[in-house]
Amino acid sequence: MSGQPIRLGLIGCGAIARDVHLPALASLGEFDVIAVAEGDARARMQALELAPAARAFVDYRDLLTHAEIDAVVVALPNQLHSEAALAALSCRRHVYLEKPIGIHTEEVDRLQQAAARDDRVIMVGFNYRYHPLTRQLRDLMHDNAVGRIVAARSIFTTPGRTLPPWKQARRTGGGVLLDLASHHFDLARFVFAQPIVRVAADIQSLRSEHDVAAVSMTLANGVVLQSLFSFGVAARDEWTVYGDRGVLHMDRHSSFGVSVDPLEVQSRPRAAFRHIGQALRGPMLRHRLRSPGRDPSFGTALRDFAAAIRGQSNVDRPVLADGRRSLGVVLAAEFSAETGRPVEFTEPAADAALGRAS
């Protein structure tokens, strides 16, 4: 398949597929989108406007059976992710599976067993691993830019809008933990290079089920990460890392680069000049000027999916085990919120979401 476009089918044509996946796939030159599957007629037609050469299916099972495809992107509602991935593997297709990889451990078990028997690529859509700001944050921490890390905070919230029905109920894969927090749970391990060993959470249902969550996580090295997730407020996706020699901060929506601030308080003019210099050297300056409002991580992740299909290795590529770890933290947070007690676990136990309340 080297040098030839990968024949791809898109399973699920909701907003994220139309706004993000299809434009990214079209821009890469790595894929030919030759089939789409979507039960909703309007969404299906809108997808075909973006991929006019594609063959349309109502049922993704028909796409897997009748379309001459090499790979699929699964962008269905969360409760259908593992089911569709299993079906794709059984038809010998490579799979790019949007997170979460499942909403219960039993279905994830079946998916992992199927993947272990197959030689197909299955990659998880933790695209924010590929964001330039995430990479810069990880590199600065690795280079001890602010000394020994003491604590960290993160926030991931989305603006008020009408949620699709499936996002409003946990049983159908809704709620902020599966939808938003699963990204940050994966990034915690990726950026800090440490497993999460303790979780305490409070979850609220204000407009829909589980639409606000505050989670405190302790990493294996003792660093505490406090995170807030919410639907229906301002759009925020930020990380702040506190070291014993300074502070790192990034805002995925607006930062040009990760800011590095010393511990001592500086005058406003001096701080402003320092931030301007950091922004001019930041990895997002050119991208924000060329493609304002576009997130580059989706395209980079899909390009790496193509590289995986072509046999290229990448130790940072998110795989099923990463999806399982993230789901384990989601389930631990839910258990903590239900019982009012923190959950402690070793990493294998976290993978299976087997916690011990303390």
| Cβ contact 100:326 at 8 Å | yes
Q: What domain count does the chain have?
A: 2
Same domain, 124 and 232: no
**Range with the poorest average pLDDT among 69-78, 85-94, 111-120, 260-269:** 260-269
The answer to which of 51-55, 63-67, 86-90, 284-288 has the lowest mean pLDDT is 284-288
Residue at 325: amino acid letter: R
Residue 204 in this model has a pLDDT that exceeds 50: yes
Do residues 167 and 103 touch, judged by C-beta distance below 8 A? no
Question: Confidence band (pLDDT; 50, 70, 90) for 357?
Answer: very low
Q: Whole-angstrom Cα distance, residue 325 to residue 113?
A: 16
Task: Supply the pTM of this predicted model.
Answer: 0.92
Residue 328 inside a domain? The answer is no
Q: Is residue 340 part of a domain?
A: no
The rounded mean pLDDT for the chain is: 91
Each residue of 162-186: pLDDT tens digit?
Answer: 899 999 999 999 999 999 999 999 9
pLDDT of 144 strictly over 60: yes
65 within domain boundaries: yes
CA distances from 51 to 22, 59, 99, 269 (A): 7, 18, 23, 50
pLDDT tens by residue, 327-351? 999 999 999 999 999 999 876 544 4
In terms of domains, do 261 and 202 share one?
A: yes
pLDDT in tens, 289-316: 676 668 999 999 999 999 999 999 999 9
CA distance 110 to 116: 10
Is residue 175 located within the same domain as residue 248? yes
Residue with tokens 């902020």: 176
Q: Does pLDDT of 356 surpass 50?
A: no
Query: Do 118 and 135 reside in the same domain of the chain?
Result: no
Query: What's the token pair of residue 25?
Result: 């796939």
What residues contact 62, with CB distance under 8 A and at least 6 apart?
37
> At which residue do the structure tokens 């006019």 appear?
52
* CATH number of the structural domain spanning residue 260: 3.30.360.10
Res 126 pLDDT > 90: yes
Residue type, position 72, single letter: V
Token pair for 143: 């280079």
Smallest CA-to-CA distance from 245 within 332, 320, 145, 116 is with 145
Residue range 241-264, pLDDT digits in tens:
999 999 999 999 999 999 998 877
Q: How far is CA 225 from the centre of its chain?
A: 18
Run of H or E residues at 122: strand 122-124
Stated length of the chain: 358
CATH code of residue 15: 3.40.50.720
| C-beta of residue 120 within 8 angstroms of C-beta of residue 89 | yes
Q: 250 is in which domain, residue-wise?
A: 129-292
261 within some domain? yes
Residue 6: which of 296, 307, 301 has the closest Cα? 307
Please indicate, yes or no, whether residues 140 and 218 belong to a single structural domain of this protein.
yes
